[in-house]
Copies of this chain bind each other. A is one copy, B any other.
Amino acid sequence: MIFLFTDFGAADVYAGQVRARLLRELTLPVPIIDLLHDAPAFDACAGAHLLCALSQQFEPSDVCLAVVDPGVGSARDAVAVKAAGCWYLGPDNGVLSVVAARTQDASCYSIRAPNLRLSASFHGRDLFAPVAAQLARNDASVLIPKQRLEVEFPAADIARIIYIDHYGNAMTGLRASDSATQGRLRVAGMTLSHARTFSAVATGELFWYTNSIGLVEIACNKASAAALLGLTIGAAAEWC
């Protein structure tokens, strides 16, 4: 499978162009999954943590094109990471670094594909898509080993909001552990207790829970936690 994780916008004109380019280059039918096209725009760090949480669903030989790339067209490198048998492709701005840091024996590569004609602003279509198609057919000839990524975010959790979904639930960069359910979370001046799921609390009640990708998430039963608390990407959310 090929997974697309970008900030290109699900409703916008970019994801379809990436898909078309992939399909032109693939010789075998490989499913292409639009995993997320609304990763927080320009925010490689939030994207890196969200991607890592979502990658639990990947399996060996899957390819993930991970493009949150405000520096497109600059001198930043284009890289690949192999982690737990999966390929990740993206800019060397940190977006792949949390997956790399948290996976034993992850390996890094620079992409050297001089024959591809690149636009100045859309390497998702012009570079990462054709290379993803090559990797999907087991051709890694455009990759050269790289000692380490140039931009590396720490492997540790981050105590802030990394994603807000359309319900208004706010995912943090904190991974939940089974023992944490006694924990109380400080966010926007409020202290929230744990509940197992939405229906365990009253309508309109705020809580935190372990979401379906293993992150601590701030939520409200049948209302928008983000609106109630005025949350935005980057807001602090800390254990207390």
List residues of chain A with CB under 8 Å of any chain B CB. 1, 3, 9-17, 19-21, 23-24, 29, 31, 33-38, 41-42, 50, 54, 57, 59, 70-74, 76, 119-122, 125-126, 163, 165-167, 196-200, 209-213, 221-222
Nearest-CB distance from A163 to chain B (Å)?
A: 7
Q: Are B9 and A166 in contact (CB under 8 A)?
A: yes
Measured between alpha carbons, how far is A56 from B29 in the docked complex, in Å? 24
Q: Are A54 and B197 in contact (CB under 8 A)?
A: no
Q: Are B197 and A121 in contact (CB under 8 A)?
A: yes
The one of B13, B71, B209, B210 in contact with A165, judged by C-beta atoms closer than 8 angstroms, is B13
Q: Are B73 and A196 in contact (CB under 8 A)?
A: yes
Q: Are A165 and B199 in contact (CB under 8 A)?
A: no
Q: Are A72 and B20 in contact (CB under 8 A)?
A: no
Q: Who on chain B is nearest to A18 by CB?
A: B33
Chain B residue numbers with a CB within 8 Å of A57 are 17, 20-21
A-B contacts, 26 listed (Cβ < 8 Å)? A9-B11, A11-B38, A12-B36, A12-B165, A13-B35, A13-B54, A13-B165, A15-B34, A16-B35, A17-B35, A17-B54, A19-B33, A20-B33, A20-B57, A23-B33, A24-B59, A29-B29, A42-B222, A71-B199, A72-B197, A73-B198, A119-B212, A120-B196, A120-B210, A120-B212, A121-B209
Q: Are A199 and B166 in contact (CB under 8 A)?
A: no
When A and B form their complex, which 3 residue pairs have the shortest distance between CB atoms, in order from nearest? A73-B197, A122-B212, A9-B166
